[in-house]
Amino acid sequence: MSDGSEDWHYDLNGDGRPDYCERRSAAGRVILLRFDPNADGNYAEQVDRLLSKDEVADRRDRHLVVMLDSIPHHMVQELWHQGRFRYFPPPSALISPFPVMTDLSFAEFFGISPSPGVESEYYDGTTLTDGYATYAREGNAPWIMHVDYYLQFLAHSVAYLNPHRWYEHELGKIQRHFYRSGKDYFIGYVVTTSGLGAWEGRNGHQSALVRLDRFCQHVMHRLRGRVQITLLSDHGHNLVNSRRIPLSKMLARFGYRVTSRISGPMDVVVPEFGVVTCAAIYTQRAADVARDVIGIDGIEQTLYVDSSGDVVVQDLEGVARIRAIVESAAESETTPSERPIATRLRYQCERGDPFKLLPVIDELRRSGQVDADGFIDDRALFEATRKHIYPDAIYRSWRAFHGLMVHTPDVLVSVKDGWHCGSALMSWICDLQAAHGNLGRLSSYGFVMTTMGELPDIVRMEDLRQELMQLGVPLSTASTKESSVVSGMSAIGPLAPTLADSVVEEQ
């Protein structure tokens, strides 16, 4: 066309004649949907896609939010540039909290932190929890009550063993329940993308994203364009094959007593549940444990809080301290509980530079953004470090010890890509092709995009809900009623339904 736009025609009923059309602008965005239900060559119905949030509200569009596990930002960005996901503006990078774990990320998104622990196996001050029992009863995932559809956690182990089929099951369930629910907005969570990445790395995520794009096409066609879709992931995936670090065995060799209950200064509790690039350690001797662990092959940084309240960060070459000036305020009008808010932060290196941030701090100092005591405004620091090799590491390290978890570990460990900690059994079962958990970009950058409009190019997970609401996505912090949560347990086993009727095939 003269304006550079073009029409993409589809034959959905298989009669050899197009009955659906998507018009793409010169920039590649889908700007108009056209429908020919009689397949007579006359597109009788047209739906404008680029509306303001007020126009969307007036038209009473429904909203679908799909939360996916472990999808890395850079892969969605690649597919967008290749022509997929063109209902959406370009995807934004979404920075997860550290440790980079699902429960911590989604608790921040819904504004309901703290989570009980880093993951389902944690030390509660009395004993080490049974990770499998806690996971099965969803005990570390209070965020799940804000979701309309999810696969019951008891089925996750089965789904991980056949993630392709179960991924189709999850997308199909979300479609069907969304169509039938009649709700103005519906939130679904997909876990099996984590398994696809863990087993197959890039190939697993590539297949998931292609099918996700077609899923969005089906939803858009089925609801005649009167739907707004938001997609996001909890965190990234490093797409690197990795070896297990026998953390508890190494601590035992150092002379510590690895146990499930701390009763003396040499006791350590080391949860080893998932297979991730982070670790938690509970101990009465945090400084000593952090010092000893940093020498283990594959460990990148250790973090703990000292007696002065500083977060101490170490790598093999140096030590730095993080301190914050804190205010306590309600997170939002809909969140009555208070949380600590770091308004200004300081990163001081005693030796070396564990986060490789001294050049960034020097530049901020030259521009007058570092005060006489070394503190920097949180937002200025975020802008300066959001694209760093360790994105937003100063704030995320501080936050890890201040209100992110109820049972905060005494030592947190960030593991190099190519290594992982956690379950010896799971490491034996799966030749891990991707992992998450550490402070690095690949792990830390999830993605988000919404048909409602453009978001900032990089967003903190804890800020995302407000950003989406400002665009008109009708999220809230009110829990979904228990009776409306669909667990997806009706098809557990090898006969789980496929998605054969749930995608729009390109003709």
The whole domain housing 41 covers 1-50
Q: What pairs with residue 446 in β-bridges?
A: 94
Which pLDDT does position 486 carry in this prediction? 54
Residue for token pair 């080893």: 272
Q: Is residue 255 part of a domain?
A: yes
Domain boundary among 404, 429, 454: 429
Domain boundary among 389, 410, 429: 429
User: How far is CA 360 from its chain centroid?
Assistant: 26
* Parts of the chain with a pLDDT under 50: 331-337, 478-484, 489-507
Angle formed by the axes of helices 163-181 and 192-200, nearest 10°: 160
Q: Is residue 439 part of a domain?
A: no
Which pLDDT does position 477 carry in this prediction? 52
Which pLDDT does position 41 carry in this prediction? 78
Amino acid letter for position 251: L
Q: Is residue 86 part of a domain?
A: no
Q: Is residue 469 part of a domain?
A: no
Q: Is residue 92 part of a domain?
A: no
Q: Is residue 135 part of a domain?
A: no
For 421, the token pair is 């900690």
Residue 374: left if φ>0, alpha if ψ -120 to 50, beta else—which one? Answer: left
Give pTM, 2 decimals: 0.93
Among residues 301, 250, 252, 264, the alpha carbon closest in space to that of 411 is found at: 301
Q: What pairs with residue 313 in β-bridges?
A: 303, 320
Q: Is residue 282 part of a domain?
A: yes
Q: Is residue 150 part of a domain?
A: no
Domain boundary among 405, 429, 453: 429
Which pLDDT does position 499 carry in this prediction? 32
Which pLDDT does position 130 carry in this prediction? 96
Query: How many domains are there within the chain?
Result: 2
